[in-house]
């Protein structure tokens, strides 16, 4: 690694008016401290000094600040939006990260050291030397049932999640299932309720006991949360009503997978006459490509 650039050498040669990895050092330090605290209390929401970023708030500014405060010149960064590397917002963030930090970029899950993602967890299992950064729109899992943040904090302090349980009970009683689709609340280490970001239930069931750390950043609400490696994460469900993953009607039209998370497209050219719109495709583009190349 002797010929790899160091932060100091890059800083010395780039000579730009802009700080290394975009954020000034004070902000990075603040984000890192918040992340350390978040790792120490898994699932707990830690406030941080969220900055106005070159992406709009609510567009991944929280995840971007987390990534930028972690990234170094030897990192390889992958950014996905809904599982897709080529989304315009994901590519613009990926190029901002690599341009300002001098790190490499990739779309291949195995090559990445930092994976920033909006609303999906890569389906190819991550290793312990990788970090997953999730963009979070609503860090407060009680937001719908306890609208006042201060009151919600009291509920967290007392680990009293009765309002969330009541909401779930009412859904089960009246609809026979939870009404929440994505962003299903989870209990971290059996005690702290956390929003896992609007990942599908398919991903909620894969959140626990991972060998890698998962960092969650919410820029608009200025909070971070974290799941250290091998943290227990369970969806908030009754013992006799397990959470079910989404079902897809057909295998992926590209790779033929029947156990990936698939979404149906609207059909490209005209309105299909019959029920069922377009084909079903894997939402994780890289995992789908990997399955096709190496069946």
Partner 1 sequence: MNPTSTAQAAAAQSAAAHAPAAGPTAAAQVLPPPPLLSARGLSRRFGPGCDLCIELTGDAGATSRCPACGTVVAVHDVSFDVGAGEVLGIVGESGSGKTTLLSLLHLDTPADAGSMVVDGYGDLLRSRTSDAELRRSAVVMVHQNSLAAGLAPRLAAESNVAERLLRTGCRSFAEARARSQDLLAELGIHPSRHTDPLETFSGGMAQRVQLARALVNPPRVLLLDEPTTGLDPSVQADLLESVQRVTDRLGSATVVVSHDLEVIRILADRVLVIHFGRVVEDGIPEQVFDDPQHPYTQLLVASRLR
Partner 2 sequence: MYATMKETDSVAAARAFAEYGAQGAEHARLPILEEQICAEAGIWAPEVAGRAARQAGGDIPRAVALLKVWAAALPHVAALPVEPADVCILRRLSSAYSEIPGGQWLGVAPELASRLLDWSDESAHPVAEAPRRHQHEPEHSASDGETGGLISAGASDGETANTAERAGGADAPTRAETPRVRSLLRDVPVAAVPEDSDGHDPALGSPGVSHDRATRTGIMARGETASLVAFAALVLGRRREAVLAEMTTADVTVRVRHPRTGRPCAVAEVPIVEAEAVIDAEVEGRAGFAIGWGASLGSIERRAISLALLDGAMQADGDLEEPLMLDEPTLLGATDGSANNGFVEHLRLPHHASFGSYLSQARTDRNGESQAKADGHGESQAKVDGNGEMT
Q: Which residues are designated catalytic? A: 43, 252, 255, 282, 288
* Per-residue binder mask for partner 1 (CB under 8 A), 143-182, x = binder: ----------------xxxx--xx--xx-xxx--------
Q: Regarding beta strands 104-105 and 46-47, do their DSSP bridges make them parallel or antiparallel, or are they unpaired?
A: unpaired
52 counts as binding partner 1 under rule CB under 8 A: no
Considering beta carbons, is residue 111 or 189 the nearer one to partner 1? 189
190 binds, among partner 1, partner 2, none (CB under 5 to 8 A by kind): partner 1
CB atoms within 10 A of CB 124: 13
CB of 29 to partner 1, least distance (A): 34
Please, is 248 exposed, middle or buried when counting C-beta atoms within 10 Å of its C-beta (0-12, 13-18, 19+)? Answer: buried
277 binds, among partner 2, partner 1, none (CB under 5 to 8 A by kind): partner 2
Coil/strand/helix, residue 163: helix
57 counts as binding partner 2 under rule CB under 8 A: yes
Return d(Cα 105, Cα 92) in angstroms, integer: 12
Considering beta carbons, is residue 169 or 256 the nearer one to partner 1? 169
Q: Which structure tokens are listed for 29? A: 């330090």
240 counts as binding partner 1 under rule CB under 8 A: yes
Considering beta carbons, is residue 113 or 117 the nearer one to partner 2? 117
H helix intervals, the chain:
7-14, 25-40, 61-70, 88-101, 149-157, 162-175, 201-204, 285-293
Exposure string over 152-175, b if 16+ CB within 10 A, otherwise e: beebbeeeebebbeebbeeebeee
Q: Note the residues at the interface with partner 2 (CB under 8 A).
A: 52-59, 61, 81-89, 91-92, 118-120, 137-138, 143-144, 147-150, 174-183, 198-202, 220, 244, 246-248, 254, 261-271, 275, 277-278, 281, 283, 285
């Amino acid at each position: 690694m002797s010929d790899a650039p160091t932060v100091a050498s890059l800083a010395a040669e780039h000579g730009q008016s802009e700080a290394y990895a975009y954020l000034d050092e004070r902000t990075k330090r603040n984000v890192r401290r918040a992340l350390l605290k978040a790792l120490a209390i898994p699932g707990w929401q830690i406030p941080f000094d969220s900055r106005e970023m070159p992406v709009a708030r609510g567009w991944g500014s929280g995840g971007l600040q987390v990534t930028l405060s972690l990234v170094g010149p030897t990192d390889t960064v992958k950014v996905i939006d809904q599982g897709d590397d080529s989304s315009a917002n994901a590519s613009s963030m990926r190029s901002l990260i690599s341009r300002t930090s001098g790190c490499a970029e990739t779309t291949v899950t195995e090559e990445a050291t930092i994976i920033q993602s909006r609303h999906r967890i890569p389906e190819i299992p991550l290793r312990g030397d990788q970090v997953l950064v999730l963009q979070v729109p609503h860090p407060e899992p009680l937001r719908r049932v306890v609208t006042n943040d201060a009151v919600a904090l009291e509920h967290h302090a007392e680990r009293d999640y009765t309002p969330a349980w009541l909401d779930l009970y009412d859904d089960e009683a009246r609809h026979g299932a939870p009404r929440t689709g994505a962003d299903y609340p989870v209990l971290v280490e059996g005690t702290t309720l956390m929003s896992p970001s609007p990942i599908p239930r398919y991903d909620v069931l894969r959140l626990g006991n991972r060998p890698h750390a998962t960092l969650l950043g919410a820029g608009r609400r200025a909070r971070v949360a974290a799941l250290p490696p091998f943290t227990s994460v369970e969806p908030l469900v009754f013992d006799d009503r397990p959470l079910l993953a989404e079902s897809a009607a057909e295998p992926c039209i590209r790779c033929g997978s029947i156990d990936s998370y698939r979404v149906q497209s609207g059909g490209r050219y005209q309105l299909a006459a019959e029920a069922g719109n377009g084909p079903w495709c894997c939402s994780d583009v890289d995992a789908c490509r990997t399955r096709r190349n190496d069946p």
